[in-house]
């Protein structure tokens, strides 16, 4: 049996003003800036093979682009309870013209919001 799995997560950045009024008012109290940017991560699932995970991303399975999730990430992660943070493998995709397209590197504009880009799966899965 393999000792790792592939997590599929999606990410986005958006102005807090794009949310419904009640949530916008909540965020405005917290952020104190009407032009603040909210970041969001969703983990959709995990797979035993990269091929299955990538198929999910490339076909927008379960509408993982829901709510304009601009980027997708597939991370190869060791199995176990709170897996240790050894970076095994990451693959990035960006939404272009109604589908996710593979991109070579982590989107630099996300650095400001995700200091340790390996936390994608941990934040959205556990926290």
At 127, the pLDDT band (50, 70, 90 cuts) reads very low
Structural domain contains residue 35: no
Structural domain contains residue 25: no
Query: Count of domains in the chain?
Result: 1
Q: Give pLDDT tens digits for 39-61.
A: 888 888 889 999 999 999 999 99
Full residue range of the structural domain in which residue 114 is found: 4-13+41-126
Structural domain contains residue 80: yes
Sheet of strand 89-96, all strands in order from the earlier edge strand to the far edge: 37-47, 4-15, 71-78, 89-96, 99-103
> Each residue of 60-82: b (16+ CB within 10 Å) or e?
beeebbeeebbbbbbbbbeeeee
> Each residue of 7-16: b (16+ CB within 10 Å) or e?
bbbbbbbeeb
Structural domain contains residue 45: yes
Kindly state the tokens that stand for 87. Answer: 């970076």
């Amino acid at each position: 049996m393999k000792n790792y799995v592939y997590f599929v997560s999606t990410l986005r950045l958006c102005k807090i003003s794009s949310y419904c009024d009640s949530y916008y008012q909540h965020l405005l109290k917290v952020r104190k800036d009407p032009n603040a940017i909210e970041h969001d991560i969703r983990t959709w699932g995990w797979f035993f093979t990269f091929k299955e995970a990538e198929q999910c991303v490339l076909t927008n399975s379960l509408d993982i682009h829901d709510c304009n999730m601009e980027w997708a990430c597939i991370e190869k992660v060791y199995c176990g309870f709170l897996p240790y943070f050894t970076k095994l493998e990451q693959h990035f995709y960006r939404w272009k013209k109604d589908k996710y397209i593979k991109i070579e590197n982590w989107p630099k504009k996300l650095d400001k919001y995700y200091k340790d880009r390996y936390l994608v799966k941990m934040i959205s899965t556990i926290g």
